[in-house]
Amino acid sequence: MRSALTLLLIGWGVLAQENWIQRTMTCGTHCSQGLHCNARPHFTLAPCKRSQALINSTVLHNLKVSTVMKCEKKQNCSLHLKVTATVQINELLRGVSVCTASPSMLEHCRVVTFPRKARARLAGQLVEVQDDCVIEVSPSQNVQVTLRTFPDYCDMTLSRAYRVQGCDNADLRSHVPSCITGKIAYAVDMDRREISVRVSDMLEDRNYHLRLCHRWDICSGTEAYTLLRREDPFKNATLRFFSPLPCLCIEGWTSMVDAPRIQVCPFKNRTEELWSGVTFDSEKGALSWEPGCPVKAVITLCQREGESDCEDLANSTQTTGRKKVTYARVDPHPKLCMKFTTDAGSWIKCPFSDRNFLEWDLMMTEGQGQPQATLTSRIRTKLSLQVCQNGQPLECGEITSVTVEKMSPVPVNLTGDICQPDVCIRVRRADVQFSTHVLQCHLQCTRNRQYLCRADWIFVSAFTFVTLMIIAGLAGNIMLTVYQKRQANRRHARYHQYEHTAGKS
Ligand SMILES: *[C@@H]1O[C@H](CO)[C@@H](O)[C@H](O)[C@H]1NC(C)=O
Ligand SMILES: *[C@@H]1O[C@H](CO)[C@@H](O)[C@H](O)[C@H]1NC(C)=O
Ligand SMILES: *[C@@H]1O[C@H](CO)[C@@H](O)[C@H](O)[C@H]1NC(C)=O
Ligand SMILES: *[C@@H]1O[C@H](CO)[C@@H](O)[C@H](O)[C@H]1NC(C)=O
Ligand SMILES: *[C@@H]1O[C@H](CO)[C@@H](O)[C@H](O)[C@H]1NC(C)=O
Ligand SMILES: *[C@@H]1O[C@H](CO)[C@@H](O)[C@H](O)[C@H]1NC(C)=O
């Protein structure tokens, strides 16, 4: 069956009012009150002057900084700082100077001068001064703007820190080349493990790169890459992926130096995919999990009881972000599971549940008129056995340690007390660091002294046990990679709305 494909076009939102940047055609200088003012570059190292006449007066007011856009073509606009201020005209002032400085830039100044005649005419009045293009700036640039009198009288400066809009601004994203990333729409075909990508609104007359990458600190590439040529009528491509990991992203960028990149991650929400990287080294008994993406998770081993209960094993908690987590010497028991907890929830993976990993077992038998617990194993191991009183909590007696050789059952003599109701036998492996226990309760001694179990334990006959060991023996001894079962219901491609991120990498 073919998956239905639907392309999702990503809404960029209507250009909100606060996102709109003022346009300027000519980079002019304007003054109110019919004052003809002129601007020119200015450079001085002279120290400021002191003036007795100006000492108690304020001549500079209302310094305002904003960004304006100057456009050559629709997709080729540059950003400039516009500065406005109110100045009280005084015959001592020939004008005002505006200086801009950035962390990575030398100070750059311009001076706006007033004609001498006008200074006399407008003395004492307030005039609004506006310089449209004090300096060309780049997105997200931090600028310090300082307004001084000209000539420079001391203690009369006004200053503002300003940050230019970034490429997250929709107006910049559409018109400033260093912000134009193109827009990406995609559809996923889970059956074929393919993502169909369509690009729009990219820089015209340029080639465009598309690839899949895994986002850790940087986005590192997978094999999937394609170049969309500027002459191609269709700006689309199909990229193949291996695993739908949350950090798998589609990355696109224009073919030019320092091009901004767009990254879209179609499987962002599929946290459960991360728990597929569980492996078991049967030789060393080491259970490991390697994250496929950076994720903050708390990992514990637990013993599964029933469908949803999983009781934590003591001292098995590990926290990880990005490193492989290993538990050395683990008993690969069907009930032993790994629990992953993140902010988004908890997941339990039981890597040994699907196959017959049972390596050792407990059987109730009778020998020479005595009840016995017979321990069998298909590996050489040490088992610990305890007789317990059933209750909350379980009260257990002393530990009997038994070394069991491969394929040679060991009977352990028990006393008649075992026939009491509420008496249980608890067995676990003692030669590993992490093991689950087997608890057998409600042992019934019948008249002819046979021990039956009623409760939650399956009685495995010697014949079944030998058969199981042969089957398991065939499967054993190889490094086993336990991957999550593919969910059956993945026939249909799923589509997700996503947010875009743009940034230089
Ligand atoms: C400036 O103000 C101070 C205090 O308000 C005053 O003492 C001084 O005389 C003033 N100076 C001039 C030159 O007006
Ligand atoms: C934008 O215009 C300038 C000047 O006309 C030109 O040098 C530059 O290459 C143009 N950039 C793009 C991306 O078209
Ligand atoms: C691109 O789109 C066109 C028209 O929809 C289609 O014919 C073509 O097969 C697509 N190419 C790829 C690589 O998906
Ligand atoms: C867990 O660790 C603590 C401290 O390291 C230790 O005292 C305790 O015996 C450990 N418990 C088990 C069950 O290993
Ligand atoms: C178990 O009991 C039998 C009969 O009383 C005895 O012969 C045997 O040695 C006992 N085994 C152990 C391990 O104590
Ligand atoms: C992820 O989940 C959030 C919240 O449920 C949703 O808004 C977003 O569209 C989802 N993203 C993807 C890529 O599925």
Mapped to the 3 state alphabet, what secondary structure does 372-420 carry? EEEEEECCCEEEEEEEEECCCCCEECCCEEEEEECCECEEEECCHHHHC
Task: Give the pLDDT of residue 2.
Answer: 40
The overall average pLDDT reported for the chain is: 82
Q: Is the distance from CB of 132 to CB of 24 less than 8 angstroms?
A: yes
Could you tell me the distance, in angstroms and rounded to a whole number, from the CA of residue 194 to the centre of ligand 3? Answer: 13
What is the band of 200 on the pLDDT scale with cuts at 50, 70, 90? very high
For ligand 1, atom 4: residue with the closest CA: 56
* Residue burial 423-432, b: 16+ Cβ < 10 Å; e: rest: bbbbbbbbbb
Q: How large is the average pLDDT for residues 367-391?
A: 86
Task: Give the pLDDT of residue 392.
Answer: 81
Q: What is the pLDDT of residues 425-462, one digit of tens each?
A: 999 999 999 999 988 887 766 544 444 443 333 333 43
What is the band of 17 on the pLDDT scale with cuts at 50, 70, 90? low
Strand partners, 82: 66
**Strand bridging mode 336-342 / 345-349:** antiparallel
Question: Which of 237-251, 369-383, 413-427, 482-496 has maximum average pLDDT?
Answer: 237-251
For ligand 1, atom 6: residue with the closest CA: 56
Of the listed ligands, the closest to the CA of 267 is: 6
Q: Is the distance from CB of 404 to CB of 382 less than 8 angstroms?
A: yes
Gap between the Cα atoms of 202 and 223, Å rounded: 23
Tell me: cis bond preceding 41? Omega within 30 of 0 counts: no
Return the closest-CA partner of residue 221 out of 187, 186, 180, 253: 253
Return the closest-CA partner of residue 500 out of 268, 338, 235: 268
- In a 13 Å sphere around the CA of 159, the CA atoms on its Cβ side amount to 10
Query: Ligand 5: which of 365, 366, 368, 408 to mutate, judged by most atoms within 8 Å of the beta carbon?
Result: 368
What is the band of 422 on the pLDDT scale with cuts at 50, 70, 90? confident
Element (H, E) at 426: strand 423-429
Tell me: cis bond preceding 393? Omega within 30 of 0 counts: yes
Q: How large is the average pLDDT for residues 163-170?
A: 94
What does the block give as tokens for 300? 């514990």
Q: How large is the average pLDDT for residues 369-385?
A: 87
Task: Give the pLDDT of residue 331.
Answer: 92
Q: Residue 149: is its pLDDT beyond 70?
A: yes
Task: Give the pLDDT of residue 505.
Answer: 34
Task: Give the pLDDT of residue 476.
Answer: 38
Q: Which of 19-23, 461-465, 481-485 has the lowest mean pLDDT?
A: 481-485
Question: Which of 52-56, 144-148, 404-408 has maximum average pLDDT?
Answer: 144-148
Could you tell me the distance, in angstroms and rounded to a whole number, from the CA of residue 400 to the centre of ligand 2? Answer: 84
Ligand 4: residues with CB < 6 A are 314-315
Quick check: CB of 403 below 6 Å from ligand 6? no
Q: Name the E strands within 89-131.
A: 95-102, 105-113, 126-131
Task: Give the pLDDT of residue 7.
Answer: 39
Strand partners, 431: none
Q: Which atom of ligand 4 is nearest to the CA of 433?
A: 14
Task: Give the pLDDT of residue 278.
Answer: 92
Could you tell me the distance, in angstroms and rounded to a whole number, from the CA of residue 316 to the centre of ligand 4? Answer: 10
Q: Which of 327-336, 453-462, 465-474 has the lowest mean pLDDT?
A: 453-462
- In a 13 Å sphere around the CA of 476, the CA atoms on its Cβ side amount to 17
Question: Which of 6-10, 90-94, 195-199, 379-383 has maximum average pLDDT?
Answer: 195-199
Could you tell me the distance, in angstroms and rounded to a whole number, from the CA of residue 353 to the centre of ligand 2? Answer: 63
What is the band of 302 on the pLDDT scale with cuts at 50, 70, 90? very high
Element (H, E) at 493: none
Q: Which atom of ligand 1 is nearest to the CA of 55?
A: 13
Gap between the Cα atoms of 228 and 238, Å rounded: 11
Q: Is the distance from CB of 136 to CB of 35 less than 8 angstroms?
A: no
Q: Residue 24: is its pLDDT beyond 50?
A: yes
For ligand 4, atom 6: residue with the closest CA: 315
Q: Residue 130: is its pLDDT beyond 50?
A: yes
Of the listed ligands, the closest to the CA of 367 is: 5
Task: Give the pLDDT of residue 395.
Answer: 86
Could you tell me the distance, in angstroms and rounded to a whole number, from the CA of residue 235 to the centre of ligand 1? Answer: 72
Quick check: CB of 177 below 6 Å from ligand 2? yes
pTM above 0.75?
Answer: no
Gap between the Cα atoms of 389 and 399, Å rounded: 14
